Structure formats: structure tokens, C-alpha cells
Amino acid sequence: MIAPTPPRLRADWTLLVPLFIGLVLRAAAMSVGSGAFEDPDNYLPLARSVARGEGLAWKGRPTAYRPPLYPLMLAPIVRLADPRPNPAIAVLHLIFGAATTWQATMAARRWGLGDRRALAAGLIVACDPVLVWQSRFIMTETLGALLVAAAVAELARPGFRGLLGGGLALGLSSLCRPSLLPGAGLVVAAALAVGPGTARRRAAHALALSGIILVVLAPWALRNAIALGEPVWTTTHGGYTLALANNPTYFRDVLDSAGAEVWTGDDQWNWWDSVNRATAGMTEPEADRFLRDSVLRLVAERPRVFARACLDRLARFWGLAPAQPVYSARVRVASAAWTGPLWAALLVGLLNRKAWRWPRIAAPAAILGLTMVHVFYWTDLRMRAPIVPAIALVAAAAELPIPGRIRRRPPAPSPSGRTER
């Protein structure tokens, strides 16, 4: 007789298989083609500034244009590995990817999902093409996804330990990608509305969770109050990102032009130049407010066009495939083949009442929070990478809503009084 596989060993395989696959896919993505470890958002110069002891500075001036967590993590690598930090950054991103898969699998187990569903959650995180591809760039999506997965996993722990770990992860995620902060706020609201225990206990948990998040964010706001003269809690980049997706030139070139999936060319460069000239001489917070206010005026003048733009951004954020001018037909078809079934499973998972109970509701909260942000702000398909672990968990927990089960009629007794088989 063959002895059954011990549960612990079986559970370990649900963790190790996605870890291995995720590492292989990310390593492959980093090694193929050109453009690996490009730094479009200039995080390496910020990390070098930190490594030199100058703090987060751009061209010698303190800045809050980018969030602080990722360049702070890159600073030791830059200090030790410059002028060739890319191999060390590759290792760091591989660690981030493996840790994200691990945290998603642990969250699934703490939700009470079986081994197969935990394995499914881990495999989705390991194989998701958006998340895998972003690991080859010096950008915050890879770290952001890890912190979202960690937050959901920690909040599934009972007691104050779960609140502490979840609050720390939510706060750090906001210092990595400020667009994740609304999701953190929704998690706090969920703790108050559907958390465990009495109303008083739920209020105490929500207060503790929000306090932990604020404690994590406070040093950054204090630093900005000293360096910039204003307590900026997130970044001074939000006004630009809002204006980038809501300006007359963008509306004309993309929204009103058939088949224009990507905004590029002379008109885009001219808009950038006009923004630089308009904000010349302003401090970062002043320029941030100026651009935000310009969008608010545009919305008041053209509300219908703005509403169309919001729907267009929503479609881009949840698109099945990346933009046609940028990626080949083969890549687009492969992406759609992966994403279509995943979106179907996500929808079924969201229709499950369990998804809206504590602690599982943390995953839909993260998804909804980031979606709300990118309805209004600049977006494309890669922007959803940080919530892939939350999507994976909801999809892995999906259960078809069967209204009722077919009950077998009990067998009739035979004349002798015995039950017929």
C-alpha cells in the first residue's frame, strides 16, 4: 500500500512550482531583446543622489516628483555596483517576483483555499505577462505588486499582528506607487464595515490600520515640509499625470482620432514643451497645483469629452492586449489568450459573496482603488501590474454560482424491508 503524500509536502509543492516558473519567466524576459533595464522615470539618478548622501535630489535640488521607496532600495546597489548596476537590479527584481508569488500563495492558504486554488493563484502571479514583462524595467510596478500581495497576505492573519503587517505593507505600497493609496483607504473602510467582531472592535481595527499607514507616510511628508516648504504626502507628479491624460491636444489626437491607440509624435512633444514653459520658475508643489487646476477648468468646460476620456482610460486599463502600434500581432494574441479567461474568472470571483467579506475584501479593495485612480489619470495596460496578485487571488477563489444542487432521491425500500442498491 502506498502511503499518502503528507499534507505539508503537498502544500510545499503548491509554493515551489510557481516560484520556479516565475523565476524562469522573469529571467527570460530580462535576457531577450533590447531595452532591458531602461530607466524612463529616472530612478537611477535619484538613487545615485541618495548614495552620494544628497538625499532625493534632481540636478542638485530636493524633489518629491517621484515616490521615495524604490530609489531608496536602489541606492545601496548603485553605491556598490555602479557604473554597471543592472545585474544586481536584475537579482533584486527576481527576488521581488519570487516574494510576490510566495505572498500570493500564502494569502490563498490563509483565505482557506485548497492546494489547487493556492497553486492557481501562485501560477497566475508567476506567469502574468504584464507583471513578467515589467520586471525588466527600472520602474516601480514589480515592487508595488510585492507590497500589494504582502498587504493582502498579512491582513489575512488574525489579530493585531495582521493589522500591523497589513498596515505597514499598505503604507509602503503608497510610498512606492501613490496610486495605491486609494486602495489602502478602501481597505480601512472595509475593516470598519465588514471586519470581524463588534462595531466597536471594527472601529478600533480601522483606526489602528489607518494610524499605521499614516505613521509610515509621515516621515516622507515631514521631509517634504522641510525640503520643499509643504508637507507633500505622496508626490508632486500627480498634476502632471492628470494633465497628461486630460488636455485638448490629447483629446484631439487620441480620443477624436479613429484607431489612435498611442499618443506620440510632434503634438505630444509640443504639449510637453508648453507645460515646461508654463511651469518655469514654479516650485514643484506650485507646478503640481497649476496642472491640476488646468484640468479642473477643462473638465468644467468640456464635461462630455472628459466623460468619454474616462471611459477610454477604463478600457485601456482593463484591455485584453497591449497597443497595436507598439507590440506585434503575435504578442497581442498571446496576451488576449491569457487575459480573457483570467478576466472571466475574476468576474466570477467578484460575484462570490465571500470576496466581499473580511479578510478577502482587501483584494477587491486594491483592485477597485487603482481602477478609480486610472479612470482619471494617465493610464495604459502596464499600470495594472501592481494589482495582479489581488486579481490572481480573486480569480483563483472563483466558484460558479449554482442556484441549487440536484438532490438524489433516496432509494425505495424493497418488500423485504431492505434498501435496494
pLDDT tens digits for range 277-304: 999 999 999 999 999 999 999 999 999 9
Kindly state the average pLDDT of the residues 242-253. Answer: 95
Q: Is the pLDDT of residue 409 over 60?
A: no
Regarding predicted confidence, which is higher, 231 or 400?
231
Q: Is the pLDDT of residue 87 over 70?
A: yes
Distances (CA, A) of 129 to 136, 314, 359: 12, 19, 27
**Using an 8 Å Cβ cutoff, are 29 and 133 in contact?**
yes
If one counts every other C-beta atom within 10 angstroms of the C-beta of residue 88, the result is 16
Q: Is the pLDDT of residue 404 over 70?
A: no
CA distance 381 to 313: 10
Q: Is the pLDDT of residue 121 over 50?
A: yes
pLDDT for the residue numbered 13: 83
CA distance 147 to 387: 10
**Using an 8 Å Cβ cutoff, are 100 and 92 in contact?**
no
Q: Is the pLDDT of residue 7 over 80?
A: no
Regarding predicted confidence, which is higher, 330 or 138?
138
pLDDT for the residue numbered 405: 41
pLDDT band of residue 35 (cuts 50, 70, 90) is confident
pLDDT for the residue numbered 262: 79
Round the average pLDDT of the chain to a whole number and report it.
Answer: 91
Half-sphere exposure for 412 (CA within 13 Å, toward CB): 2
Q: Is the pLDDT of residue 9 over 70?
A: no
pLDDT for the residue numbered 327: 79
pLDDT band of residue 328 (cuts 50, 70, 90) is confident
pLDDT for the residue numbered 401: 59
CA distance 302 to 378: 18
CA distance 68 to 129: 26
